[in-house]
Amino acid sequence: MENKRRLPAEWEEQDAVLMAWPHEATEWVNLSAVQNVTVAIAREIVRSERLLLAAPDVEEAKRRLARGRVPLERVDLFEIETNDTWARDFGPITVYEAENRPVLLDFVFNGWGLKFRSDLDNQISRKLSTLGAFGKTPLATQGVVLEGGSIESDGRGTVLTTSACLLSPNRNPHLSRSGVEEVLSREFGAKRVLWIDTGAIQGDDTDSHIDTLARLCPDDVIVYTACDAPEDPHYRPLAEMAEQIRVLRTAEGRPYRVFALPWPDAVYDEDGRRLPATYANFLVINDAVLVPLYGTPKDAAALEILGRAFPDRKPTGVNCLPLLTGNGSLHCITMQLPKGVLE
């Protein structure tokens, strides 16, 4: 029987974006700064669509949002205990079934391969569903470990991912590469899987999530992280990744159009540890592309390139430097909910 499921592309119409409020138990280096970034992202999201926000202390989140001029009538708040802030990876992944009926898939989240505590975050999607956050859209619990940041979809049956993440021994050790492809085919309706086997960013806890490295865009475009500094340890693995991307072909057998994103200036924490700055960690919403900025001259080039990749949307920058101390950026703390989920 033909699989009627389809994993939509991020640039398809959305109802809302899910986020989680950063709080004291999330152990941010500068919690206030991270809360300010969260408010700034929320302010941009609600210009286009609704925001769903999980927070252990709804009243605190509400006060900070109001102080940041976020219209609360565009925000749905849910009191839920959380370990951390990374909605991309614990949030539900939406697929469409026959007649464009949305279904939310709740995969196991185990802290990026058992690296961090995740007992609360692994329950967030189910708790949100119980509280009515997703209306009547069904939530289907999955028995496989998978994070939203590890996959990219063009909405037409192509999934882009990395072998370092999806074949990690601390995620699904019982699955081979072909076994993973079977899961992607069954759950997402994937007709083909494009694997990236090289490329990594220092400071990244995710085992090379694809949303730090390369992203699918409309009209058969791939944007990818490129390093132009031969002395940088990222230079060779990212050059090898670029070569892999250049030989990829569309479902019709044509080369992808490829745009290289600039290499951000190196960012270090107070202990001298390099942090995972990447412009590939952008979020597509209905009217804009929200681009993480890091306060360097490279920011302008990133906005220009993503404006070319998404010509029907406004590239909008948000200073995400504080998020890097948690080893993530803008896309990592958000999860889009496509059209129909909230109806």
pLDDT, one tens digit per residue, over 212-235 is 999 999 999 999 999 999 999 999
User: Does some domain include residue 177?
Assistant: yes
Total structural domains in the chain? 1
Q: Residues 77, 62: contact at Cβ < 8 Å? A: yes
User: Does some domain include residue 232?
Assistant: yes
Strand order in the sheet with 221-225: 214-217, 221-225, 257-261
| pLDDT, the chain, mean | 97
Helix 58-67 to helix 31-45 angle, to the nearest 10 degrees?
A: 70
Full domain range(s) for residue 138:
14-338
User: Does some domain include residue 130?
Assistant: yes
Residue type at 102 in one-letter notation: P
User: Does some domain include residue 4?
Assistant: no
Residue 97, burial from CB neighbour count under 10 angstroms (0-12, 13-18, 19+): middle
Give the pLDDT score at 1: 59
pLDDT at 197 over 70: yes
User: Does some domain include residue 215?
Assistant: yes
pLDDT tens figures, 248-275 = 999 999 999 999 999 999 999 999 999 9
Q: Where are the alpha helices (DSSP H) in the chain?
A: 31-45, 58-67, 87-90, 111-114, 124-130, 163-166, 177-188, 235-247, 298-309
User: Does some domain include residue 343?
Assistant: no
Show Cβ contacts of residue 321 under 8 Å, excluding neighbours closer than 6 positions.
267, 293, 294, 295
Residues counted in the chain: 343
Paired with 80 in beta bridges are: none
pTM here is: 0.97
Give percent of the chain with pLDDT exceeding 90. 98
**CATH number for 133:** 3.75.10.10
User: Does some domain include residue 25?
Assistant: yes
The vertex-149 CA angle with 143 and 152, nearest 5°, equals: 95
User: Does some domain include residue 2?
Assistant: no
